Amino acid sequence: MGEGVEETPPAARDGAGAEVAALRARVAALESELAMARGELLRLEYVVSHDLRAPVRVISGFAQALLSDHGDGLVPDARHLAERIVANGVRMGQLIDGLLLLSRVSRSEMSVQPVDVAEMAREHFRRLVARKADRKVDLLVPETLVVEADPQLARIVLEQVLDNAWKAVAAAEGGRITIEPAGRAGGDGEGRFAIRDEGIGFDPRYAEKLYGVFQKLHRDDEFPGVGVGLAVVERILGRHGGFVHAESTPGGGARFEISFSPPEGPR
């Protein structure tokens, strides 16, 4: 990391040397503080998501039991109330699972190697189609598309962005999802790709909110989900030194550029 620091001025300049040493000590102290804060945060995320699971399951479980065992004895209003308990238990469960996924992708060990994201995309797309066979959605993807990444984390990225594209297209009642290389021709941007959809899109004025945890740009009936997918994607790409960039116009589809490596410098 510290290539620039190697060229320290001659020892004659004692004052500057002492200053550098002091700065280094300060940086080291801040780094260890940061590492501690990060560790604390990750542990908190983990414990919260873990210990919250049981009571949520129990709450919706008993409400569900009430409905299935005593549903006939309940007046319509009472049934409705119990159903709302169940529905909100399900939602709480999804929120917790989202938090857990976020915590897991932040903590997991990484082993970077060549991975074919095109194959991963096809696999996950088949699952999506199997779940909702009545939907008319096409996937266009090259034969292979290799990036340097951790395979498990890359798979999560592909699943999340494909899920989003699928939902966006479904909300627009059909269309196409395209995955294509996005590196500059002849540039060093290999390992970068884009996923385009012909879905409902989003308002670019709120683009930065896309990556917030539990932040959504659409109502639940337009675009279901708890709003954790892109936060997960951003965190994974950040761990690889890469980035995600989104463009869209409302109703005009969206394009997400995904890179597992740092942005190219200006040329």
Partner 1 sequence: MKLRPILLVEDNLDEAHLTKRALRKSHVLNDIVHVKDGAEALEWLEGTGAYADRDPEETPQVIVLDLKLPKVDGLEVLRKVRAKDRTRLTPVVVLTSSDAQRDMVDSYELGANSYVRKPVEFDAFAQAVAHLGLYWVLVNELPDPVRS
* Residues 109, 113, 116: CA angle, nearest 5 degrees: 115
Rule CB under 8 A: is residue 152 a binding residue for partner 1? Answer: no
- Pick the closer one to partner 1 by CB: 224 or 241: 224
Rule CB under 8 A: is residue 90 a binding residue for partner 1? Answer: yes
- Pick the closer one to partner 1 by CB: 52 or 207: 52
Output the smallest distance, CB 154 to partner 1, in A: 19
Rule CB under 8 A: is residue 110 a binding residue for partner 1? Answer: no
Rule CB under 8 A: is residue 86 a binding residue for partner 1? Answer: yes
Rule CB under 8 A: is residue 64 a binding residue for partner 1? Answer: yes
The phi, psi pair for 18, rounded to 5°, reads: -65, -40
Segment contacting partner 1 by CB under 8 A, of 53-61, 171-179, 186-194, 210-218: 53-61
Query: Looking at 89, 191, 199, 229, which residue binds partner 1 (CB under 8 A)?
Result: 89
Query: Looking at 62, 106, 181, 238, which residue binds partner 1 (CB under 8 A)?
Result: 62
Query: Looking at 82, 100, 230, 231, which residue binds partner 1 (CB under 8 A)?
Result: 100
* Interface with partner 1: number of residues (CB under 8 A): 20
Rule CB under 8 A: is residue 43 a binding residue for partner 1? Answer: no
Rule CB under 8 A: is residue 227 a binding residue for partner 1? Answer: no
Residue 98 · residue 52 · CB < 8 Å: no
Output the smallest distance, CB 87 to partner 1, in A: 11
Residue 81 · residue 67 · CB < 8 Å: no
Query: Looking at 13, 24, 26, 50, which residue binds partner 1 (CB under 8 A)?
Result: 50
Rule CB under 8 A: is residue 58 a binding residue for partner 1? Answer: yes
Segment contacting partner 1 by CB under 8 A, of 34-42, 60-68, 210-218, 245-253: 60-68
Binding site for partner 1 (CB under 8 A): 50, 53-54, 56-58, 60-62, 64-65, 86, 89-90, 93-94, 96-97, 100, 104
